[in-house]
Structure 1
């Protein structure tokens, strides 16, 4: 063994106190790494990974900062520079001190965050690669442990485990097929929402040029009834005399023939309804075209309230004579 070679020596003292040297007790430090790698590879790997920490966790609390600036210094500062405020508002130095400490803590936090961000950006590649390596190694370890545990199973347990995996995969496949309507056809609609799908041909019509009113068509029978003449006292107005009157004849058009038949059967009741409605109109209203249209609209609404079969489509005048 040369003089330049570093060695370790295990000495044992005998009963007389003299050390006994043995060639097996001497171990070269240069060969220590190789011996550790052969005897305990995991321990050698752990030793190789020991190094300086990449991140430093700094406690930014006021106690760990070791600041020499205290509350007494802040009180003294206020007493020197703002004595009047410190005298009348003794709580201001405490607030100012807390604000300064908080601002200092935030500044240090921002500095730490900025430095850490710069470090992460500059070393993004190695950090990401290291993270991926650790994840892959973890996955390999998990798979290895699983395979090792699986190898210890009995034949029955192994077959049961494989069958469970196959059943799980088949169940997922069936659920996917059902969700996408590929295994079973979708349910047909119970009701027909449109006859378009069943029609032999489809046509487009313009509502302005090619449409014809059903009730005004000459090919449709008209349900029109002429009512007997009404002689009614009107309400007085500014241009009328003390007793204005009017004589009127109406045509009533129903949407169906049953409505006209009902009006004819209840003619006395309908006449009384017409008389009461006309009596609420003034002479000036009945003398104007707008008033006549208003009367027809009121009569139609009141008549539709009492009919039980069909509706009245419109009411129009045959004769209208008013006397002031």
Structure 2
């Protein structure tokens, strides 16, 4: 029993016929390594002896909290300062907390900048391979899609294959026709459909200065299509400078663009008179007493009468007589 409880011994197996000197490896023990180091580099051997082995009874433990920079550390830092810094920390006790916060923000910004810089460099370095990989992936998908479509197309019957080809042909022709229609290339126009100006058809072009041009309507060689209205008596609105019951007696000249306008106004004279009367009664004494007010009244009369005319337009209206009672 005692023979069976012998300690385990590991023997190196060596092939038969191998000499004892050749089978033993040149293995160095720690003692022989120390002796070689003392011989080759005595200074390095002494530095290793000064380090010594680890003390199992007093292990070195580094806690995570020891690596953190806390507010207390910043307060201790300011307490060790001299001169104006110490006076500043004494007068303003919140300065260490403020500098601690700024220090943390500065460190966070530095870390963010370094991280962004490294990510940017990494992105630039790998931009080419990434694009190449993306293109390869897209081409692989296209190739796979074409292969799948080809396999499906092979399973179609002859009628379905012909129908698909006809559909593709019709779609392509329709796209070409729509493009030509949109770009006016299907039926090219050699000439414009509308004539925006007679300049292109004229034998010659003449340019005149503004002082050489004679007004058409104000020319003495053109018939003046002017109609004189009957006198209108109207009660106008009172104002700050009038009495309690102001009145106005007015006559107007009405100038039309052609003779038909004058004829129509003459035929509809009662209607035109009532229109003018209603407009005059809507103005105040202060308005009609001034030149600007009279001009404004004439412009308003012109716009309103043009709304009811059927032949031509009234060019302008001006006073013939104007008698105003405050």
Identify whether the pair has TM-score above 0.5, normalized to the shorter chain: no
Q: With the length of structure 2 as denominator, give the TM-score of the two structures.
A: 0.44
TM-score by length of 1: 0.45
